[in-house]
Structure 1
Amino acid sequence: MESNSVGSPIVPGFKISKDENGDSVDETYYKQLPIVTLSTTEAEFVAAAVCACQGVWMKRILKELGHSNGSCTTVMCDNSSTIKLSKNPVMHGRSKHIDVRFHFLRNLTKEGTIELVHCGSQDQVADIMTKPLKLEVFQRLRKLLGVCEISGIN
């Protein structure tokens, strides 16, 4: 009741302060969860590969439920180097440090199961979940998600 209102859930420039009374956290556990990448292209490639795996899984589930769609699954990506890497194995010399399991994305792209399509950073709807955004950007991305604003609620 005594807090200031904000226009988006993650406020740009907000600094989280440490709670002195909170439980201690084993930081090493959380540091082991992410995959360490050597470049932004590799990070985007890994993310696209994980997304593609989820898309293939979802299509299989939908097929089992009788909602088969034979069309290619589109994955939006804002890194053009990642898109090129998924299509062109000639770039192998620049990508041999990427774990083999993520090259599954190349196979899916070659088979036509997955298509990586460039999406500008300003159109990355997922940013609403991961980044602090200015109110105008937050509202635009919220609209792209199909979430409507209900005014008059206090």
Structure 2
Amino acid sequence: MDHPAPVSACHCLALRQASRRLTQHYDQHLAPTGLRTSQYGLLRGLARVGPISINGFAEIMVMDRTTMGRALHPLTRDGLIAAGPGRDGRTRSLTLTAAGRDRMEEALPFWERAQRTFEDSYGAAPATDLRRAALSLARSGLSAAG
């Protein structure tokens, strides 16, 4: 039996619950590609900004360095992302490989279907408003000290 999410005045809890629900939706659509939503997002992000240092990429993706390292491991293991020497010899630089680009392109129609079915269910205009609000929050610079 499905139980509704508990009503909470906590903005963080509400957004985390919504994020988990939406991630489940996208993961179901991307399953045939062998990618999870988070992995697909990293491939697309790296395609837009790479080559880039791991720390720089973590900052852009609003992830801490340790979480980024764990998230990159299966992608580098599978040859979708390459980690090589950075500009100063102390850092590592991330690059999307040809295999990574191929997998990302293979996953694109599945991701597009997830987008479309979400918008069909939630509404195109509210989905756009939600995405804009989420991006605004991600770019807000809000921090633990904030």
Which structure carries more helix by proportion? 2
Give the greater-gyration-radius structure (CA): 1
TM-score range, shorter chain: under 0.3
Higher relative contact order (CA 8 A, sep 6+): 1
TM-score, scaled relative to structure 1? 0.26
